[in-house]
C-alpha cells in the first residue's frame, strides 16, 4: 500500500519513497518462507527448514538481480521485476499444494 501511495512520476526520473517501500516489501516477501518454516517428520515439504531457506535464497538472489538491473539500467528491469514477482507469488501456491498433498497422503490408508 505504501508503494501505491508513492507512485512513480509520469515523467523521467524516479521516486525515492516508492523505491524505498518497494525494497522493503520485496525484502519482506523474500524472507517470509524462512519465517514460516516448521520442523518435524510430518511437516509438509514446502514448510521444511531446508526448503524454506532455499526458497528465500532463490528469491533473494532474484531480488539482487533486480537491484543490479535498477542500478546499472541495463534494459532488463521489467523482466527482472516480473520474475521476482512471479517467484514470490508462486511460493505460497507451492506451500499450499504440498500441504494438501501431505494431508491427502495422511488420509490414504497404507496397504500392508
Give residue-wise pLDDT tens across range 30-87.
Answer: 888 888 888 888 888 888 899 999 999 999 999 999 989 988 988 898 999 899 999 9
C-alpha grid cell for residue 67? Answer: 537491484
Q: Other CB atoms closer than 10 Å to residue 96's CB: what's the count?
A: 12
Q: Check if the beta carbon of residue 6 is closer than 8 Å to that of residue 25.
A: no
Q: Check if the beta carbon of residue 18 is closer than 8 Å to that of residue 7.
A: yes
Decide if 32 is inside a domain. yes
Domain coverage including residue 34 = 17-107
Reported pTM: 0.75
- Structural domains of the chain, count: 1
Decide if 7 is inside a domain. no
Decide if 3 is inside a domain. no
Amino acid at each position: 500500500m505504501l508503494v501505491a501511495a508513492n507512485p512513480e512520476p509520469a515523467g523521467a526520473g524516479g521516486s525515492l519513497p516508492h523505491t524505498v517501500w518497494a525494497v522493503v516489501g520485496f525484502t519482506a516477501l523474500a524472507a517470509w518462507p524462512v519465517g514460516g518454516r516448521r520442523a518435524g517428520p510430518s511437516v509438509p515439504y514446502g514448510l521444511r527448514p531446508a526448503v524454506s531457506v532455499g526458497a528465500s535464497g532463490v528469491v533473494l538472489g532474484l531480488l539482487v538481480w533486480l537491484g543490479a538491473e535498477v542500478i546499472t539500467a541495463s534494459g532488463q528491469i521489467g523482466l527482472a521485476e516480473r520474475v521476482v514477482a512471479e517467484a514470490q507469488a508462486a511460493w505460497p501456491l507451492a506451500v499450499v499444494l504440498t500441504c494438501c498433498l501431505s494431508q491427502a497422503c495422511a488420509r490414504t490408508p497404507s496397504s500392508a
